[in-house]
Structure 1
Amino acid sequence: MNRIRLAVVSGVNGSSAPEQYSKYAEIFFLRLVHYLNEFVKPDAVAVSGLSAAMKKTAEHLKMPLFLGNDVTVNGILLTSGIPGTAPEKGFVHLPSGPAFRPDASTVQRLKEKHCLCCVARAIPPDRDGGIHFFRPDDFCAEPFRFAVVTLDGDSGRFEVELEQFRLPPGLTDTHVHTPLAYCSENMSMRAVLEIAELEGLEKVAFTEHSGHLYCPIKEYWGGDQSHWFESFPDSGAFQVDRTDLYFHLFHGLDEARYFKGMELDADSRGNIVIKEGVRERLDLTLGAVHVLSKSLSPEKKVEQFFLQAKNLVTGGIDILAHPFRVFSWEGTGEKPETLFDPLVRLLKENNVAAEINFHHNRPDPFFTRKCIDAGVKIALGSDSHNLYEVGFFQPHLRFLREIGYDGDLADILFRKEGKK
Structure 2
Amino acid sequence: MAVKIVAIADIHYKSGEIASGGRRRSAIADILLLRAAHRINRWIKPDVVILLGDLIDDSSHSGALEDLRHIKSITDLIKSPVIALPGNHDFDVDTFYSVFPYPGQIIDIKDTRFVVFFDPSEPRHNARRTEAGLRWMSSARAGHQGPIVSVQHVPLFPPGASDSPYAYTNAKDVWAIFEKCKYTLALSGHYHDGDNLLARKAGSAVIVPALCEHPFAFVELTIDGSTVQTRQHELAVPRDLGLIDYHVHTPFAYCQENMDMALSLALAQDFGLAGIAFTEHSGQLYFDSETFWSAAFMRAGIDTTSGAKNRMQDYLGQARHFCPPALLGLEIDCDYAGRPVVRSEDFQQLDIRLGSIHWLEELMKPEPDPTRAGDEMLARLDKFLPAGIDILAHPFRAFGRKRAEIPVDLVPRLVRLLRKYNVAAEINFHTQETTEEFVNCCIQEGVKLVFGSDSHNLYEVGEFQPHLELMERCGCTGNRLKEVLADFRVPVTSGNGESSETKIPAS
Q: TM-score, normalised by structure 1?
A: 0.90
Q: Provide the residue aligned with 1:210 in structure 2.
A: 282
Q: Does the 8 A contact of 2:208 with 2:219 survive in 1? A: yes
After TM superposition, the structure 1 stretch with the greater mean CA deviation from structure 2, 209-218 or 399-408, is: 399-408
Equivalent of 1:164 in 234, 254, 257: 234
CA 1:251–1:129 in structure 2 vs 1: closer, same or farther (change >3 Å)? closer
Q: Provide the residue aligned with 1:75 in structure 2.
A: 111
CA 1:297–1:128 in structure 2 vs 1: closer, same or farther (change >3 Å)? closer
Does 2:139 correspond to 1:84? yes
Corresponding letter in the other structure for 1:405: C
| Aligned mates of 1:118, 1:194 — CA distance in 2 | 36
Q: How many residues align?
A: 411
Q: Could you report, residue by residue, the CA deviation over 1:271-311 in whole angstroms, capped at 9, with x for unpaired residues?
A: 11111212210000000000111136433322221122332
Q: Does the 8 A contact of 2:221 with 2:230 survive in 1? A: yes
Q: Provide the residue aligned with 1:176 in structure 2.
A: 248
CA 1:124–1:113 in structure 2 vs 1: closer, same or farther (change >3 Å)? farther
CA 1:166–1:34 in structure 2 vs 1: closer, same or farther (change >3 Å)? same
Cα offset, 1:14, TM superposition:
7.3
Corresponding letter in the other structure for 2:48: A
Cα offset, 1:256, TM superposition:
3.4
Q: Does the 8 A contact of 2:428 with 2:451 survive in 1? A: yes
Q: CA RMSD in A?
A: 2.7
Q: Secondary structure at the match of 1:359?
A: coil
Q: Provide the residue aligned with 2:179 in structure 1.
A: 111
Cα offset, 1:414, TM superposition:
1.6
Corresponding letter in the other structure for 2:208: P
Q: Provide the residue aligned with 1:193 in structure 2.
A: 265
Equivalent of 1:56 in 73, 77, 80: 73
Q: Secondary structure at the match of 1:256?
A: coil
Equivalent of 1:337 in 404, 408, 433: 408
Does 2:334 correspond to 1:263? no
CA 1:127–1:364 in structure 2 vs 1: closer, same or farther (change >3 Å)? closer
Q: Does the 8 A contact of 1:209 with 1:262 survive in 2? A: yes
Q: Provide the residue aligned with 1:283 in structure 2.
A: 351
Q: TM-score, normalised by structure 2?
A: 0.76
Q: Secondary structure at the match of 1:277?
A: helix
| Aligned mates of 1:125, 1:308 — CA distance in 2 | 57
| Aligned mates of 1:201, 1:350 — CA distance in 2 | 28
Cα offset, 1:327, TM superposition:
0.3
Structure 2, unmatched stretches of 5+, are: 15-20, 56-67, 86-102, 118-136, 156-165, 492-501
Structure 1, unmatched stretches of 5+, are: none
| Aligned mates of 1:66, 1:190 — CA distance in 2 | 35
| Aligned mates of 1:341, 1:279 — CA distance in 2 | 29
Q: Provide the residue aligned with 2:122 in structure 1.
A: none
Q: Secondary structure at the match of 1:63?
A: coil
Q: Provide the residue aligned with 2:131 in structure 1.
A: none
Q: Could you report, residue by residue, the CA deviation over 1:220-246 in whole angstroms, capped at 9, with x for unpaired residues?
A: 1113xx1x1112154235423221111
Output aligned runs, 1:77-156, within 5 Å.
Answer: 77-81=113-117, 82=137, 84-86=139-141, 87-97=144-154, 99-101=166-168, 103-120=171-188, 132-153=204-225, 156=226
The percentage of counterpart residues that share the same residue type is 31
| Aligned mates of 1:19, 1:112 — CA distance in 2 | 39
| Aligned mates of 2:460, 2:299 — CA distance in 1 | 32
Q: Does the 8 A contact of 1:232 with 1:271 survive in 2? A: yes
Equivalent of 2:308 in 239, 261, 271: 239
Q: Does the 8 A contact of 1:173 with 1:205 survive in 2? A: yes
Q: Secondary structure at the match of 1:88?
A: coil
Q: Provide the residue aligned with 1:357 in structure 2.
A: 428
Q: Does the 8 A contact of 1:214 with 1:241 survive in 2? A: yes
| Aligned mates of 1:374, 1:61 — CA distance in 2 | 41
Corresponding letter in the other structure for 1:369: N
Q: Secondary structure at the match of 2:276?
A: strand
Output aligned runs, 1:262-411, within 5 Å.
Answer: 262-293=330-361, 294-295=364-365, 297-329=369-401, 332-408=403-479, 409-411=481-483
| Aligned mates of 1:43, 1:324 — CA distance in 2 | 32
Q: Secondary structure at the match of 2:331?
A: strand
Q: Could you report, residue by residue, the CA deviation over 1:92-141 in whole angstroms, capped at 9, with x for unpaired residues?
A: 11113454436233212112333111123578999999961112211111
| Aligned mates of 1:397, 1:315 — CA distance in 2 | 30
Q: Secondary structure at the match of 1:207?
A: strand
After TM superposition, the structure 1 stretch with the greater mean CA deviation from structure 2, 43-52 or 271-280, is: 43-52
Corresponding letter in the other structure for 1:162: Q
Q: Does the 8 A contact of 1:286 with 1:318 survive in 2? A: yes
| Aligned mates of 2:30, 2:270 — CA distance in 1 | 14
| Aligned mates of 2:447, 2:221 — CA distance in 1 | 37
**Rg larger in structure:** 2
Corresponding letter in the other structure for 1:25: A
| Aligned mates of 2:281, 2:274 — CA distance in 1 | 23
Corresponding letter in the other structure for 2:8: V
CA 1:239–1:395 in structure 2 vs 1: closer, same or farther (change >3 Å)? same
| Aligned mates of 1:184, 1:385 — CA distance in 2 | 4
After TM superposition, the structure 1 stretch with the greater mean CA deviation from structure 2, 291-300 or 56-65, is: 291-300
Q: Secondary structure at the match of 1:287?
A: strand
| Aligned mates of 2:328, 2:457 — CA distance in 1 | 19
Q: Does the 8 A contact of 2:222 with 2:229 survive in 1? A: yes
| Aligned mates of 1:145, 1:361 — CA distance in 2 | 25
Q: Secondary structure at the match of 2:108?
A: strand
